[in-house]
């Protein structure tokens, strides 16, 4: 009896899984422009003695292209304007924008260009790419999870960790962790 | 054989080392504090402020040690040649110097504890120094910053007076007041 129910469940799962995946991919395929209104780019840096400090970038732009036949050929481009950084504390914002950290006056853009997208699950993918900040470029990895697909909009939840010291932003270590944890919601609009 | 403790006429080497070490750090802290808030580079400024905090806690540890030592080791009396006015005011000036040495690191500690920047304190990157149990706010931060600032200027003025008095004793009065803070007491004394 149990075996039969299990067998039935397994059969149903086999039937259902590829179907969802296939539908999601063909539905999702296309080019999207990241909409700042529905998106957010937040980050957290741990502090010695516990806690951490949070911030977000207010201005950014980018595109997401999902390949119809091959997810691996999908592409993500993201440009962040560090001048728009906000932490809720004006003095910290000024510090972050200064040449102590972002040097926003001389390096007004932080860019991410994906080089490969690997599907890791039904709704998840590993996005590898090149991150450029303050004139330095290094490969970085982000995890993207499909968070919604409706009408002409697609939403991803993207997380990843970046070592800031590599980009000439090591000020404050070890008081503040070298690891910057990103938590982004990227909403794309078709077209 | 040089003595660690003070004798009836001389200072022991423990007091002498603490005196000069604290003196150098105290003056260095004033210069560092003056420079760190005026320097243009925000990065250098941040790093100098952390260094100032580190030396501030070192100073606090040394001054607690010094006060404890001083309480168990009476300072040798002034030479007989010292005049009446100075005989009365010098102990007050020395008491005030001790008070400044204690108050400056403590007001600095209060300042970082109430600062809304919430920057952790790690003396010489060795360990996390907890904050004093004070409520953080912009108003408190301004208050403790002012207190620290005024005490620093008043303290350094008193240090300048202290140095001038020591030089006067050595070069004009030619007594042992300065030299006994350089050469330790001997066991035989």
**A24 belongs to a structural domain:** no
**A4 belongs to a structural domain:** no
Compute the nearest-CA separation of A75 from chain B (Å). Answer: 36
- Find the helix or strand (DSSP H, E) in which A129 lies: strand A124-133
- Per-residue pLDDT band at A13 (split at 50, 70, 90): very low
The domain limits of chain B are: 13-181
What's the gap between Cα A127 and its chain centre? 8
**A107 belongs to a structural domain:** yes
Number of domains in chain A: 1
- Bridge partners of A189, per DSSP, are A33, A153
> SS3 helix, strand, coil % of chain B, rounded to 5?
65, 0, 30
CATH code at B13-181: 1.20.950
Residue of A nearest to B48 (CA): A172
Residue of A nearest to B122 (CA): A175
Report the 10 Å Cβ neighbour count for A78.
24
Stretches where chain B sits below pLDDT 50 are 189
> What is this structure's pTM?
0.87
Q: Residue A98: which of B42, B117, B125 has the nearest Cβ?
A: B42
Q: Where are the extended beta strands (E) located within chain B?
A: none
**A137 belongs to a structural domain:** yes
Compute the nearest-CA separation of B38 from chain A (Å). Answer: 15
Compute the nearest-CA separation of A98 from chain B (Å). Answer: 7
Is the CB of B46 less than 8 angstroms away from the CB of A100?
Answer: yes
**A12 belongs to a structural domain:** no
Is the CB of A89 less than 8 angstroms away from the CB of B116?
Answer: yes
Chain A CB contacts of B125 under 8 Å are 174
For chain A, say whether B128 makes contact (Cβ under 8 Å). yes
Q: What is the ipTM of this complex?
A: 0.84
Mean pLDDT of chain A: 89
Q: Residue B128: which of A48, A94, A98 has the nearest Cβ?
A: A48
Chain B CB contacts of A48 under 8 Å are 120, 122, 128
pLDDT given at position A3: 54
Q: Which of residues 102-121 of B touch A (CB under 8 A)?
A: 116-120
Please, what's the b/e burial string for A106-137 (b: 16 or more CB within 10 A of its CB; e: otherwise)? ebeebebebeebebeeebebebebebbbbeee
As a whole number of angstroms, the distance between CA A182 and CA A186 comes to 12
- Bridge partners of B121, per DSSP, are B129
Q: pLDDT tens for residues A105-162?
A: 999 999 999 999 999 998 899 999 999 999 999 999 999 999 989 888 999 999 999 9
**Residue-number span of the structural domain to which A90 is assigned:** 30-190
Report in angstroms the alpha-carbon separations of A52 from A46, A100, B141: 4, 19, 20
* CATH number of the domain where residue A109 is located: 2.40.128.110
Q: pLDDT tens for residues A26-55?
A: 778 899 999 999 999 999 999 999 999 899
């Amino acid at each position: 009896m149990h075996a039969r129910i299990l067998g039935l469940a397994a059969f149903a799962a086999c039937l259902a899984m590829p179907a969802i995946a296939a539908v999601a991919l063909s539905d999702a395929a296309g080019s999207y422009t990241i909409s700042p209104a529905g998106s957010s780019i937040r980050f957290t840096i741990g502090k010695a003695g516990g806690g951490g400090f949070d911030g977000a970038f207010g201005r950014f732009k980018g595109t997401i292209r999902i390949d119809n036949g091959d997810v691996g050929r999908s592409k993500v481009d993201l440009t962040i304007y560090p001048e728009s950084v906000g932490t809720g504390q004006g003095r910290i914002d000024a510090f972050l924008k200064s040449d102590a950290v972002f040097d926003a006056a001389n390096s007004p853009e932080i860019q991410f260009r994906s080089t490969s997208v690997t599907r890791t699950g039904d709704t998840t993918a590993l996005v590898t790419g090149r991150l450029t900040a303050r004139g330095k470029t290094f490969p970085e990895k982000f995890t993207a999870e499909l968070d919604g697909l409706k009408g002409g909009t697609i939403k991803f939840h993207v997380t990843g960790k970046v070592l800031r010291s590599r980009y000439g932003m090591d000020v404050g270590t070890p008081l503040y962790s070298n690891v910057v944890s990103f938590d982004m919601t990227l909403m794309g609009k078709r077209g | 054989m040089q003595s660690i403790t003070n004798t009836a006429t001389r200072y022991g080497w423990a007091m002498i080392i603490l005196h000069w070490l604290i003196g150098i750090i105290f003056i260095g802290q004033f210069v560092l504090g003056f420079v760190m808030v005026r320097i243009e580079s925000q990065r250098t400024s941040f790093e100098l402020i952390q260094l100032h905090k580190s030396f501030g806690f070192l100073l606090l540890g040394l001054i607690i040690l010094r006060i404890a030592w001083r309480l168990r080791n009476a300072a040798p009396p002034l030479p007989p040649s010292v005049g009446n006015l100075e005989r009365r005011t010098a102990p007050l000036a020395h008491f005030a110097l001790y008070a400044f040495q204690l108050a400056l690191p403590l007001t600095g500690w209060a300042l970082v504890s109430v600062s809304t920047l919430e920057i952790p304190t790690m003396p010489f990157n060795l360990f996390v120094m907890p904050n004093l149990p004070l409520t953080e706010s912009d108003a408190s931060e301004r208050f403790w910053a002012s207190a620290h600032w005024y005490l620093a200027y008043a303290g350094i003025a008193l240090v300048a007076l202290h140095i001038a008095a020591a030089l006067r004793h050595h070069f004009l009065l030619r007594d042992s007041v300065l030299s006994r803070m350089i050469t330790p007491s001997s066991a035989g004394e």
